[in-house]
Amino acid sequence: VPPVTVRSDQPESAPRGLERGRQLDRVNGFSDGLFTISATLLVLSIHVPEIPKAAAPDELPAAIGHLFTGQIPTYFLSFWVIAVFWLRHHELFGRIARSDTRFASINLLFLAFVSLLPFPTELLGQYGREPLVVDIYAANLVILSLLLRRLAREAERAHLLHPGYVALDRAMELRGNAVALLFGLSIPLAWVDPYLSMACWFGSIFAQRFVTRRFS
């Protein structure tokens, strides 16, 4: 068990332990809330077509069909991305016993990029074949991957874990590397063909499954 020093400007008293436990609960609550709300806001990136009543029977089917090849699959992709990052964040926080200022700051930066995700999602849903747009989406995911790993390293460095736990086991580390690599690779590939980038993203699903089966 690592030694822990808590600086305090207040007299030591009974509710201290309680308070510290409640604070980690509130950080957890903030993180969970933010993931949940971001996932729910994704639906706003699907735009209901604006067609005059009279023209609706003729033009609506094509306009809706267009959504099913663009904004709707992008919605599910981003929902899946948020869910995966939520699960990994959740896995890490299940091992955390306490928080400190630097850990909380990295966590907030990570959450700022989670909460940003509806923007590249809407961009991708509308302009899915533009390499720049594909790159912005991929860059957001690479940044999320790197910040989550940074968070895990910080938990280990500052001894914030429950005794006997590690922040990242080998499977998690490999999984994180595979995702960061494939998303990183998808950035230059978007300029060859945006579909190649998306193939990389789908590849990351299988890479994760493969690592999970093989190493954990």
The site for a second copy (CB under 8 A) is made up of 7, 9-11, 13, 15, 19, 22-23, 26, 28-30, 32-44, 46, 48, 51, 56-57, 60-61, 64, 75-76, 79-80, 83, 86-87, 90, 94-95, 97, 104, 108, 111-112, 115-119, 122-123, 126-127, 130, 132-133, 136, 162-166, 169, 171, 216
Smallest distance from a second copy to CB 211, Å: 12
Torsion, Cα 87 88 89 91, to 10 degrees, reads 80
- Compute CA distances 40 → 46, 80, 108, 211, whole Å: 12, 12, 19, 29
Rank residues 130 and 156 by Cβ distance to a second copy and give the closer one.
Answer: 130
CB of 32: closest distance to a second copy in angstroms? 5
**Beta-carbon-side half-sphere exposure of residue 162 (alpha carbons within 13 Å):** 9
Report the residue number, 112 or 199, with the smaller CB distance to a second copy.
112
| CB of 39 or CB of 151, closer to a second copy | 39
- Please, what's the b/e burial string for 168-188 (b: 16 or more CB within 10 A of its CB; e: otherwise)? beeebbbbbebbbbbbbbbbe
CB of 55 to a second copy, least distance (A): 11
133 token code pair: 């747009």
Q: How far is the CB of 58 from a second copy (least distance, A)?
A: 11
End-to-end CA distance of the chain: 25
CB of 200 to a second copy, least distance (A): 22
Distances (CA, A) of 185 to 17, 113, 163, 189, 198: 46, 20, 37, 7, 11
Least distance to a second copy, CB of residue 23, Å? 6
* Cα 126 to Cα 43, 134, 138, distances in angstroms: 13, 11, 16
- CA dist 145 and 79 (Å) reads 16
- Nearest CB to a second copy, comparing residues 30 and 196: 30
